[in-house]
A and B are shown apart, each in its own frame.
Chain A
């Protein structure tokens, strides 16, 4: 694989020195700001035109044959047919009729080979762009985006994960970027837990308590300020801002007709919540749709699950496009892997990472493109093979983040993305 960043070109060296110089000039300003960015011009651009990422995680392993890369009338094709889309020549599964109408906004990547058939490892690779190793833990895409797109006046968390159930809380997914960039988890799309004042505590009394806390903090920080104490301070202040903006997380405040359009089921609500959150400035939102681990009755389950996915996803794409937000919002529909072309004896498909697909939209991506190709019955990549690391680079480049940059963390320079990989230039406009 060609390594664009291993070339050590003059341009890259200059950019890295400039980045490190900016970091040195940034001094101890660890809370907020964009001083870490390698390209100040890009930083200004990001600041003026806030970018966003929405990831839809098709948990369990979406079948590429029942979604983005159908192979009808082959031994592996299964019972579903392919339908034309709004882009001539591009066909997707008949399970996605509403999505097909939005194909001119979408970008399909059909030649993925991640060589990993384990759920946990595959998910880790797709969300970090790296293989998990015993020696290092890497931040997930949400944390990287939250840090990369952070703005000075940001009042909401930059990394939000909406789970299908659960009570919410805080994720542990920022690795060396630190807990500031860990996800705020919205259990079943509900507002963050513990964001209302306890009974018996008035707003005035709460304000007095925080004045006291700040006073104590300032005394402490004047002599013992560290990155960790800054994070503690940040978390307190962010929690207060979160409490003040709690209604942002309340999807029921969206117009009734929109709630109807997206559907009243969990995934519909969560897609609408994702739209609401990015409209309010949240950098990264991850929504899950579960469950696609269909070793048994793959076709019945995909009929059920894709039927639920299709309309809200298409609505989300159409709404962001209509509102002019798709230009600066990247949508990623990913999974930990695909599913076997071979149909097993229980009408199931098993884990398959050798030839599968993701669907992207927005940002700098070319619209209506289908990149990469699998062979006639979908068992191998025939053209345009890519992997998780290339996709990770592509996501960042699509929102204007220099994936060749580095994070400066506790005196260490850490690459934003796998430095041995590169973006898929062919799908970037």
Chain B
């Protein structure tokens, strides 16, 4: 996926597969070898369709909705995180699939999971405002951080494996060094958050984060212009931030790291640096950018679902609006891209998982 696809032309996008499941879908991902697409469903199951024949296997294990999925890039493992606070490891090659491991990881929904590019680390985050780091193979807990004051919606690793990003409801994005957890940067994505005085609700948040393959920029996705949050009147927005070119030296102890992080956050200089929005992408559609991925340094792809319907949105640098908006047959709630960067799996309310080829 990190190689720029040649002749990548979103205008040629078309749905090449669609398979129906037993329940509305929430999220989806490809397995590391692109043999399967895996989806989380409202009936509490994790579903696996074989590519290209669409054979369906349904896996039971969650007590509530699974909400997020992440696949290892090196092993046949998919991890699901749920509203039941559970992380479940699935062996995607077994048939029927069974949970390899199950553990209670958070208090409150698990909103996001991610696997590092080397396949060694798993990160999870959720409504309890905590980011947790695990060894993927053993599920051994490695670290836990709680610097977000509200629900965390997204967590992603930097491709180089040396830092991790987390974004929350209030539009705060934090970049930490690994493994220390020292805060390297904070990004102010508050345009993705709104508080509606009439409805008295906080809304929006950093629904997803994508790191550009060259590791020099991140995209924080969500929504803006939320004039009626409870009625779904809002539009997709992606804010772009440049990363610091040089990371500071690691402190010697975790105590030092925490002191440094606090000092960094409290200084005026740090705050000035935080608001470095480098650009933005948006769409006039009504919806939310619930997932974004960079398929190359040039192309950022997002998925949106809302009152305008479901779309894949294709942005290029310098174009605030999508170069192409590809309409999907139904509202999309989740999306993933395969290792070629040309196949996009989308999870839909109408119970279908669809694969779009570009």
Verify that A and B bind, or say they do not: yes
Instruction: Check if A293 sits within 8 Å of B84, measured CB to CB.
Output: no
Any A CB within 8 A of the CB of B100? no
Instruction: Check if A346 sits within 8 Å of B230, measured CB to CB.
Output: no
Indicate whether A294 sits within 8 Å of B43 (C-beta atoms), given known contacts A80-B83, A164-B200: no
A301-312 interface bits toward B, Cβ cutoff 8 Å, 1 = contact, 0 = none: 101110000000
- Please, how many angstroms separate the alpha-carbon atoms of A329 and B296 in the complex? 65
B150-163 interface bits toward A, Cβ cutoff 8 Å, 1 = contact, 0 = none: 01000000000000
Any A CB within 8 A of the CB of B106? no
- Please, how many angstroms separate the alpha-carbon atoms of A384 and B231 in the complex? 33
CB-nearest residue of chain B to A72:
B64
Instruction: Check if A291 sits within 8 Å of B200, measured CB to CB.
Output: yes
- Please, how many angstroms separate the alpha-carbon atoms of A81 and B44 in the complex? 12
What is the interface of chain A mostly: helix, strand, loop, or mixed? loop
Any B CB within 8 A of the CB of A338? no
Any B CB within 8 A of the CB of A50? no
A143-181 interface bits toward B, Cβ cutoff 8 Å, 1 = contact, 0 = none: 000000000000000000000110000000000000000
Interface residues of B in 38-85 (CB under 8 A from A): 42-44, 63-65, 67, 82-84
Any B CB within 8 A of the CB of A75? yes
* B188 CB, nearest partner CB in chain A, Å: 22
Instruction: Check if B201 sits within 8 Å of A305, measured CB to CB.
Output: yes
Give the chain B neighbours of A296 by CB distance below 8 A: 229-232
Give the chain B neighbours of A295 by CB distance below 8 A: 230-232
Any B CB within 8 A of the CB of A377? no
Instruction: Check if A301 sits within 8 Å of B230, measured CB to CB.
Output: yes
B321-333 interface bits toward A, Cβ cutoff 8 Å, 1 = contact, 0 = none: 0000000001100
Give the chain A neighbours of B151 by CB distance below 8 A: 303
Give the chain B neighbours of A304 by CB distance below 8 A: 201-202
Instruction: Check if A346 sits within 8 Å of B201, measured CB to CB.
Output: no
Instruction: Check if A79 sits within 8 Å of B83, measured CB to CB.
Output: yes
Any A CB within 8 A of the CB of B283? no
Give the chain A neighbours of B127 by CB distance below 8 A: 303
CB-nearest residue of chain A to B44:
A73
Among B43, B200, B202, which residue has its beta carbon within 8 angstroms of that of A75?
A: B43
A73-92 interface bits toward B, Cβ cutoff 8 Å, 1 = contact, 0 = none: 10100111100000000000
Instruction: Check if B84 sits within 8 Å of A291, measured CB to CB.
Output: no
Instruction: Check if B67 sits within 8 Å of A60, measured CB to CB.
Output: no
Interface residues of B in 106-120 (CB under 8 A from A): 108-109
* A298 CB, nearest partner CB in chain B, Å: 9
Any A CB within 8 A of the CB of B24? yes
Instruction: Check if B305 sits within 8 Å of A346, measured CB to CB.
Output: yes
Any A CB within 8 A of the CB of B197? yes
Any B CB within 8 A of the CB of A117? no
Any A CB within 8 A of the CB of B95? no
Instruction: Check if B83 sits within 8 Å of A345, measured CB to CB.
Output: no
Instruction: Check if B24 sits within 8 Å of A343, measured CB to CB.
Output: yes
- Please, how many angstroms separate the alpha-carbon atoms of A292 and B84 in the complex? 23
Interface size class of A (residues with CB under 8 A): 20 to 34
Any A CB within 8 A of the CB of B134? no
A44-72 interface bits toward B, Cβ cutoff 8 Å, 1 = contact, 0 = none: 00000000000000001000000000001
CB-nearest residue of chain A to B202:
A304
* B36 CB, nearest partner CB in chain A, Å: 24
Instruction: Check if B23 sits within 8 Å of A79, measured CB to CB.
Output: no
Indicate whether A291 sits within 8 Å of B83 (C-beta atoms), given known contacts A296-B232, A345-B331, A345-B349: no
Instruction: Check if B199 sits within 8 Å of A290, measured CB to CB.
Output: yes
Interface residues of A in 252-311 (CB under 8 A from B): 266, 290-291, 293-297, 299, 301, 303-305
* A291 CB, nearest partner CB in chain B, Å: 4
B83-116 interface bits toward A, Cβ cutoff 8 Å, 1 = contact, 0 = none: 1100000000000000000000000110000000
Any A CB within 8 A of the CB of B306? yes
Any B CB within 8 A of the CB of A348? yes
Give the chain B neighbours of A346 by CB distance below 8 A: 232, 305-307, 331
CB-nearest residue of chain B to A303:
B127
- Please, how many angstroms separate the alpha-carbon atoms of A80 and B44 in the complex? 11
- Please, how many angstroms separate the alpha-carbon atoms of A297 and B232 in the complex? 8
Give the chain A neighbours of B231 by CB distance below 8 A: 293, 295-296
Among B64, B202, B331, which residue has its beta carbon within 8 angstroms of that of A80?
A: B64
* A352 CB, nearest partner CB in chain B, Å: 15
Instruction: Check if B43 sits within 8 Å of A291, measured CB to CB.
Output: no
- Please, how many angstroms separate the alpha-carbon atoms of A348 and B306 in the complex? 11
CB-nearest residue of chain B to A301:
B201
Enumerate 25 A-B pairs (CB-CB under 8 Å) in ascending A order.
A73-B44, A73-B63, A75-B43, A79-B67, A79-B83, A80-B64, A80-B83, A81-B63, A164-B200, A290-B199, A291-B199, A291-B201, A293-B231, A294-B230, A295-B230, A296-B231, A299-B83, A303-B108, A303-B109, A303-B151, A305-B201, A343-B24, A345-B330, A345-B350, A346-B307
Q: A75-B42, A79-B67, A303-B109 are in contact. List 5 more A-B contacts (CB 8 A).
A: A60-B230, A295-B231, A296-B229, A297-B229, A345-B330
- Interface pairs A-B: 8 shortest CB-CB: A79-B83, A296-B232, A345-B349, A79-B65, A291-B199, A345-B331, A290-B200, A79-B64
